[in-house]
Amino acid sequence: MTVAAPTALHEADPRFAFDSLRPEMPAPPGPRPGQRAARLRPALSGRLVKIPGHAHGERQMPDSTLGQRVRYRFDNFMARGGRSIFALLLIGFLAALGLLMVLRATVALFVPPESGSGWGWNAFLTFLQMTEPGAMAEEAGAGWWHRGLAVVAGVTGLVLVATLIAFVTTGLDRRLHDLRKGHSRVEEEGHTLLLGWEDQRVVEIVRELVVANESVDRRAVVILAEEDKEHMDDYLAMMVPDTRTSVLVTRSGSPSSTRNLDLTAADAAAAAIVLASCPEMAPEAEKEESDARVVKTLLALRSRSRNGHLLPVVAEVFDPSIRSLVSELGAGSMVTLDSHDILSRVLVQTSRSPGLSVVYDELLSFEGNEIYFTQADFAGMTFGEVTLHYPQAVPIGIETPDGTIAVNPDPGTVLGAADRLLALAEDDSTISFRREPVIRPDRPRPAGGRLPLSPERYLIVGHTPALPMVLAELSRYVLAGSTVDIMPCRGQRLDEGRLHELGESIQGVEVGCISLNPLDPDTWQQVAPASYHSIILLSECNPAKSPDQSDSETILVLLLIRRAMGAGSTSETTIVTELADSANQSLATSAGVYDFIISSRLVSMLLAQVAEQPGMHRVFTDLFDEEGSEIYLKPASLYVEDLPSELAFADLVVAAQARREVCLGVRIAADEGRADRNFGIRLAPPKVERVTLTAGDRVVVLAEDDT
């Protein structure tokens, strides 16, 4: 398109009478090639100006009045905020003061006042009357003109000063409100960064970190989430009232924003935990959106690395392909967890080893015994020998210099100078290596034996997204010929296609469906729960229900099962219950079941453990995996020939080594119902401590199978 030169356009169209507006204005030069012609903006005048190029033809711009222009200027001035309002009030006060001074001086020329005269005195008296209405009493004996001016000065000052006070009060309140929102940068170092918010999950993680930080004088936990800061502060103050030596700092904003991450001092943090934005039972679309947000947050964290050092991060990711992508992206510094997979493994392992849930709860929590990396001058010693050189800690594995971790290695494995031990201990301060053995067991080693295996019957109550994973994990343990019955919630039926699909995931095991309502008492008279080796109650965790409502139904089913089995039942049926809320733990215990998995607590503890010690991810992956060694609670008769018997814990350690196992502790059957004694679980006692074992007691060991 050809653009006419401005001069030619002006001469050709008389509508553009610029000469009448700006008489001696030279014509602007034409546009350079490739450059748009500048849009001509006519000056305001007392006429209508036609502007060409409008989509609907010519457009007329009306005149603006003086009042409109003043209003426009005033609006712009007021839009600048509190400074403009303060300046306006100050100008109004000074203007009123000046006007009243002039009026008072003028009146004084005709009616002399009784007290004082002159400009200085009039100015001082007017100022006093405007700022302190009581000063009007100075004019009590003066004439009516002076009294009237005193009243005007007092009322004017009262209005202006009151307005100014109201403005200052409002400004201070707004400023305090802004300060509570936390827009300042966090001045912390070595803190743990928690990104995302979910009420229950955040509380569980914060509680664990508070316990972990007890050995440090002061350490911060910084939370960044798209929640209101006041809500986060109030909720944490209510749910975690005792923060001990930890400091909780919250900031409101998107965790995937680099600007918000800068406020949290992410470049100075020790580790970060990235939470999913939806629960495990959410629809697939929400899970995909959550994974996308997590990846974006991880990229933002990576961009805030200091001196090329990537921040250790542990994140919740649902999609397996996204988890592999994150592992490549993090170059070993980013760990992703699949909560469904972890819960499925723990549920199955606990169903096969009663009491294991209590052991896992202690290992994953920072309260009680934990797993630590330790190193000492034990080069040349075997793994079996070094076990007796620690008074309290229990060595459970070896980490080689290349990062390879071997849990429950052969007792004859020779340790290298650069190797590190994995040790179970109550605290890292209790891990001490002695050059000489703590005790020399002299008890004869039992001949031992293996537990016989046979096909088993399982009952799974509840049909959740975790069901296929539970079945797949179960198939790795049970023998061919075992059966698994599934009882969906509220009497739902599984169609033949779904049953066939589930059966394909657990080869060699028969899968059936019981279409009865687990909440109906008559159901458990027909099913006979005591005929099963193990019953697993899955928490429905329906997004339409609260965790407390889901747990209420689960506990009700649990009570119905216990009643059907009878109070004095001698059945060895193991009942494993999945709960969503840790607050309901005591209710499950009162129902007579001590093997319960609190899903939110388990995952939260694992997130906190891996954040504090990134290497723990490989350790727990090994422990949760069917391949290699897992934790079992085996009968004491496999380790001690004559029961009951009193012996030192070191004797059990040696007896377990003879079976190619690592002894972690004991479970006393008489205490399994006592929460104050950790339901009978005693891990890593001193080697010289003597324990009395009976026929019903069990030994907690690391072993390759449950025989």
The token duo for 313 is 């991060």
Angle between helices 199-212 and 229-239 (to 10 degrees): 60
User: Residue 596: what pLDDT?
Assistant: 72
Q: Are 496 and 462 contacting, i.e. CB atoms less than 8 angstroms apart?
A: no
List C-alpha distances in Å: 642 to 380, 637, 695, 701: 36, 8, 9, 20
| DSSP code of residue 122 | H
The token duo for 54 is 């409008």
644 upstream amide cis, omega within 30 of 0: yes
User: Residue 298: what pLDDT?
Assistant: 92
pLDDT of residue 662 exceeding 90, the answer is yes
CA–CA distance, 573 with 462 (Å, rounded to integer): 18
User: Residue 448: what pLDDT?
Assistant: 62
CA–CA distance, 516 with 424 (Å, rounded to integer): 45
Q: Which residue has the higher pLDDT, 170 or 520?
A: 520
> Which of 451, 365, 414 shows the shortest CA–CA distance to 703?
451
Number of Cα atoms under 13 Å in the Cβ half of residue 130: 24
Neighbour-count burial of 124, counting CB atoms closer than 10 A to its CB (0-12 exposed, 13-18 middle, 19+ buried):
middle
pLDDT of residue 626 exceeding 70, the answer is yes
**Mean pLDDT in the chain?**
80
CA–CA distance, 293 with 287 (Å, rounded to integer): 10
The token duo for 433 is 């290596």
CA 143, 145, 146, 151 dihedral sign is: positive
Give the model's confidence band at 444: pLDDT under 50 very low, under 70 low, under 90 confident, else very high. Answer: low
Q: What percent of the chain has a predicted confidence (pLDDT) above 70? A: 79
Q: What is the enclosing helix (H) or strand (E) of 617?
A: helix 616-624
> Which of 534, 539, 529, 540 shows the shortest CA–CA distance to 562?
529
Can you tell me whether residue 348 is helix, strand or coil? helix
Residue identified by tokens 């700092």 is 249
User: Residue 503: what pLDDT?
Assistant: 67
pLDDT of residue 49 exceeding 70, the answer is no
Q: Are 451 and 479 contacting, i.e. CB atoms less than 8 angstroms apart?
A: no
Distant-in-sequence, close-in-space partners of 14: CB < 8 Å, separation ≥ 6: none
> CB pairs under 8 A, 24+ apart, for 328-332?
329/295, 329/298, 329/299, 329/302, 330/298, 330/302
Can you tell me whether residue 372 is helix, strand or coil? strand
Model pLDDT for residues 191-250, shown as the tens digit of each residue: 999 999 988 889 999 999 999 898 888 999 999 999 989 899 999 999 999 998 999 999
pLDDT of residue 50 exceeding 70, the answer is no
Give the model's confidence band at 45: pLDDT under 50 very low, under 70 low, under 90 confident, else very high. Answer: very low
CB atoms < 10 A from the CB of 488, how many? Answer: 23
3-state secondary structure 139-185: HCCCCHHHHHHHHHHHHHHHHHHHHHHHHHHHHHHHHHHHHHHCCCC
User: Residue 588: what pLDDT?
Assistant: 67
Distant-in-sequence, close-in-space partners of 504: CB < 8 Å, separation ≥ 6: none
Model pLDDT for residues 465-487, shown as the tens digit of each residue: 778 888 888 888 888 889 999 98
The token duo for 655 is 């007896």
CA–CA distance, 556 with 520 (Å, rounded to integer): 10
Give the model's confidence band at 396: pLDDT under 50 very low, under 70 low, under 90 confident, else very high. Answer: very high
Give the model's confidence band at 666: pLDDT under 50 very low, under 70 low, under 90 confident, else very high. Answer: very high
Beta strands in 498-595 (DSSP E): 510-513, 534-537, 574-579
Give the model's confidence band at 553: pLDDT under 50 very low, under 70 low, under 90 confident, else very high. Answer: confident
User: Residue 190: what pLDDT?
Assistant: 92
Can you tell me whether residue 658 is helix, strand or coil? helix
Q: What percent of the chain has a predicted confidence (pLDDT) above 90? A: 30
pLDDT of residue 40 exceeding 50, the answer is no
The token duo for 691 is 């324990």
Highest mean pLDDT among 86-90, 118-122, 238-242: 238-242
Q: Return the minimum-mean-pLDDT range out of 32-46, 145-159, 305-319.
A: 32-46
User: Residue 129: what pLDDT?
Assistant: 76
The values of phi and psi at residue 56, to 5°, are -115, 35
Q: Burial letters for 341-373: b for 16+ Cβ neighbours within 10 Å, e otherwise?
A: bbbbbbbbbbbbbbbbbbbbbbbbbbebbbbbb
User: Residue 673: what pLDDT?
Assistant: 78
Model pLDDT for residues 341-352, shown as the tens digit of each residue: 888 888 899 888
Domains, the chain, ordered by start? 82-181 (1.10.287), 192-337 (3.40.50.720), 457-604 (3.40.50.720)
CA–CA distance, 378 with 355 (Å, rounded to integer): 34
User: Residue 119: what pLDDT?
Assistant: 67
Q: Are 634 and 698 contacting, i.e. CB atoms less than 8 angstroms apart?
A: yes
pLDDT of residue 23 exceeding 60, the answer is no
Q: Are 588 and 537 contacting, i.e. CB atoms less than 8 angstroms apart?
A: no
User: Residue 46: what pLDDT?
Assistant: 43
CA–CA distance, 264 with 16 (Å, rounded to integer): 58
pLDDT of residue 510 exceeding 60, the answer is yes
User: Residue 139: what pLDDT?
Assistant: 64
Residue identified by tokens 């190619």 is 660
CA–CA distance, 509 with 486 (Å, rounded to integer): 13
Q: Rounded mean pLDDT of 384-403?
A: 92
> CB pairs under 8 A, 24+ apart, for 413-416?
413/382, 413/383, 414/380, 414/381, 414/382, 415/378, 415/379, 415/380, 415/381, 415/382, 415/383, 415/386, 416/379
Q: Which pTM does this prediction carry?
A: 0.74
CA–CA distance, 518 with 214 (Å, rounded to integer): 44
| DSSP code of residue 213 | G
Q: Rounded mean pLDDT of 79-86?
A: 70
User: Residue 398: what pLDDT?
Assistant: 94
The token duo for 595 is 């093997």
Distant-in-sequence, close-in-space partners of 565: CB < 8 Å, separation ≥ 6: 529, 530, 571, 573
The values of phi and psi at residue 318, to 5°, are -90, -40
Give the model's confidence band at 331: pLDDT under 50 very low, under 70 low, under 90 confident, else very high. Answer: low
pLDDT of residue 55 exceeding 60, the answer is no
User: Residue 563: what pLDDT?
Assistant: 86
User: Residue 20: what pLDDT?
Assistant: 39
User: Residue 61: what pLDDT?
Assistant: 52
Model pLDDT for residues 153-186, shown as the tens digit of each residue: 778 887 887 887 887 787 777 777 766 677 788 9
Q: Rounded mean pLDDT of 131-149?
A: 67
Residue identified by tokens 């996308």 is 292
Cα R_g (the chain), whole angstroms: 39
